[in-house]
Structure 1
Amino acid sequence: MSDTSNPGGTGSPGPGYYSDPSGVMRWWDGTQWTDRVQSGGPPPPAPQPPKKSHTLRNVVLVLVALCVLAIGGCFAFLGVAANEVNEAIETADAEDAAPGGPDNPLTITEGQPFEVSGFQYAPGWSVTEDALGYAQVEGLKVTNTRDDKDGAIVEIKFMNGSEVVALVDCTTEQIPVGQTTSLNCFGGDEFPAEYDRITINDTF
């Protein structure tokens, strides 16, 4: 474009966009008009920086929160479980130490009733020598007065001082609460020539 009309009609301005004689914003290179024109619309918006995605961060935070809850729940569960285990051990120790428990044999008298941890043993039982000369217990019956169905597994010992001179094992099937049943007793020791007492204790 060769029109050299000076923009604004005064001294030669520096290069830039000016309104040419036709009213179009055109580039003035400092000496003459060029073919470069400025579009009439507003300048394009400056590019915006891409928005950061927080999806990964949010997922990580959720996972961390779940882990914290899970660990807290595990500790709570372990605390409850440990407490229950301790209570069970204390209960078992108390039962073992009770009269007739595994750790505390109960002295009994032939033919007389007795009780071991909620099992009521009836009177009328006897100790005998069977056909092979072994010690035997006959007519021993028990009633379950415990809270639940259970079975008896006991040891009846013939004692001479601190020595076990004969041992008879007696068992039952699982006995419903309130039911009476006979014990099955069997021994493999010879009937002792001398003993000073008879004891009974739960096997376990």
Structure 2
Amino acid sequence: MSDRPIIFSAPMVRALLAGRKTQTRRLVRFPGWAAGIFTDPLKIVVETDERGRDPEVICESTGCLAALPLPYTVGDRLYVREAWAPLDALTHGDPGAQALAERGFYRADEGTVEGEIARWRPSIHMPRWASRLTLVVTDVRVERLQDISEADSKAEGVEPICDHGVGNEHLHRIAFEQLWERLHGKGSWLANPWIAAISFSVHRANIDALLREVAA
């Protein structure tokens, strides 16, 4: 169990705040010999238990075997990093009670006036104290990207695409496919990589405030 940061885009932050997002998918990192460092082609197999847990990566060409490291584990607390600005970035006007309480502004918030903020800071530079969302990991499993179901696609927080009344049953899954391609580039969905499917509970609180509340 550890405390770690995790980055989300503005649409995904809004999905977290709205209670629509309880899952995220992240690429898994293979050991060097399995990632294609060597020139000889390797036939790589990933094996898990029936629930997609305890993953191992096996090279059928050499017999090499290793546990597949996962980005997060059950019980981890993740503080969300998002684009933000400190109070002194306000060029004019009243910051408002909420911004004063949170000590800053969040770009994902609806109604934020771009012209009032001198400069937004990228999510990767958000300090721990400025995070307003904490995720507690409840499940991690390994699977192929395209194994995602319609229900899991909905839990990713995407808005369903419009099918113009034709009755498509996979509107969230198609929307997730499009999101993945935007994030990872053309052809990334068809590549069907191994990913870690991470489920979590969402807490609208700074991680340190949450820890103090739990300890009280």
User: TM-score scaled by structure 2?
Assistant: 0.23
Which structure carries more helix by proportion? 2
Structure number with larger C-alpha Rg: 1
Say which structure is richer in strand. Answer: 1
User: Larger RCO: Structure 1 or Structure 2 (Cα < 8 Å, ≥ 6 residues apart)?
Assistant: 2
Q: TM-score, normalised by structure 1?
A: 0.24
